[in-house]
Amino acid sequence: MTRPKVILPGRTFGILGGGQLGRMFAMAAQHMGYKVIAYCPEADCPVSQVCMKTICAPFEDTDSLVTFARQVDVVTLEFENIPAQALEKIQSQVDVRPGASVLHICQNRLREKSYLADHKFPVVPFEKVTGADELKSALKRLGLPAVLKTAGFGYDGKGQKVLDSELEAESAWQTFGGQTAIVEQFVRFNQEISVIGARNASGDFVVYGPIQNEHRHHILDLSFAPASVTWTLAEEAIDITRSLMESLDVVGLLCVEFFVTPQETLLINELAPRPHNSGHLSIEACPVSQFEQQVRAIAGLPLGKTEPECGAAMANLLGDLFQAGEPDWVSAVSIPNVHLHLYGKRQSRPGRKMGHLTALARWADEALATVKSARELLVPSRK
């Protein structure tokens, strides 16, 4: 058996995408002695402020993609909304981890759900719909309420709508512009958890989680670890994540989001082939963060220890927070064991992720209470 190639410090990584996940990846890579070149259509993106070089061009620009690929030793990604053709073009020049086939599945809800169902992974019951009449028929079979989702390019609750009656089907379909969609059975769940797996080309596997998540307006609001689930359920979630990474042959990171039903069963909600917002707490809580782990996985290095050394919690900081003026950073970080991360985004707007806070404590519930208190102190009117 040929040993996979190891990319040693001093070499160059390429990152596709310019957001905060790429920024934190680049910072972790530089700590380990690597150089990073980013490819992003937007100028002055968060990753451009910390990496060696940024190629600013559309993902459809074949010449720029080839130029980028020839300057790096391996490529990874920080978000899914990249044309698969772009990844295939880069992959013809240099290794991409995870590869184009993984992205092709994970960036489209229909392909993702179909893959999960076809490979016997536990998934929310769903049907493909291509028209209003088909949607009405699917609602009869799946029952109400149900959730209508665009097949492609959805995140943070975008491209989805809860349907409470068949009468809503026609107007909902028109809102979606007639594009292919899926309709899912509405799941009443007790908890949402995520598990972030890391796997290298040798097949070695480590995991973060389960991490428990709370959403507000379909955007992740709070995460804490360890999640309040049984050991049996935690092991099952980890086993599913490992099996999925092996099935998809993921080299890099994969986040698996689960619903925990009242019957204590797991249903996969979504996959993300990259670091995940819920894993930000690993920066302070774990010996090796999810971002350093991404570096290790794509470089072929031994994977690092992931077990949290204490309870941890993370609170997202959205653009809404900035509407009342400059947040009170001093008060928030004056609380012991609270850490501030800002992403360098120039403009704030409601719903936009501008940064996050993490807090550490002996127990997860203590960390959660602390990080919520720290975030409340950021609002000037609450002083």
DSSP state of 302: P
**What whole-number distance in Å separates Cα of residue 182 and Cα of residue 174?**
14
* Sign of the torsion formed by the C-alpha atoms of 315, 253, 268 and 193: negative
Q: What number does CATH give the domain 125-185? A: 3.30.1490.20
Residue 166 has what pLDDT? 83
H or E segment to which residue 176 belongs: none
Please give the model's pTM, rounded to 2 decimal places.
0.94
Q: What number does CATH give the domain 191-382? A: 3.30.470.20
List the domain boundaries for the chain: 12-96, 125-185, 191-382
**What whole-number distance in Å separates Cα of residue 367 and Cα of residue 308?**
13
Question: DSSP 3-state assignment of 295?
Answer: helix
Residue 383 has what pLDDT? 45
| DSSP result, 91-108 | HTTS-BSS-HHHHHHHTB
Tokens 């980890």, located at residue: 238
In 3-state terms the chain splits into helix, strand, coil percentages (rounded to 5) of 35, 30, 35
**What whole-number distance in Å separates Cα of residue 96 and Cα of residue 334?**
42
Residue 320 has what pLDDT? 93
Q: What is the architecture, at CATH level 2, of domain 12-96?
A: 3-Layer(aba) Sandwich (3.40)
Residue 154 has what pLDDT? 55
**What whole-number distance in Å separates Cα of residue 334 and Cα of residue 328?**
10
Residue 179 has what pLDDT? 82
* Pairing outcome for strands 35-40 and 53-56: parallel
Alpha carbon 262 to its chain centroid, in Å, reads 25
Q: Do residues 213 and 190 lie in contact, with contact meaning Cβ atoms separated by under 8 Å?
A: no
What is the full per-residue pLDDT of the chain (383 aa) written as tens digits? 456 789 999 999 999 999 999 999 999 999 999 999 999 999 889 999 999 999 999 999 999 999 999 999 999 999 988 988 898 899 999 999 999 999 999 999 999 999 999 999 999 999 999 988 889 899 999 999 999 998 876 555 567 889 988 888 888 888 877 788 999 999 999 999 999 999 999 999 999 989 999 999 889 999 999 999 999 999 999 999 999 999 999 999 999 999 999 999 999 999 999 999 999 999 999 999 999 999 999 999 999 999 998 999 999 999 999 988 899 999 999 999 999 999 999 899 999 999 999 999 999 999 999 999 999 999 876 54
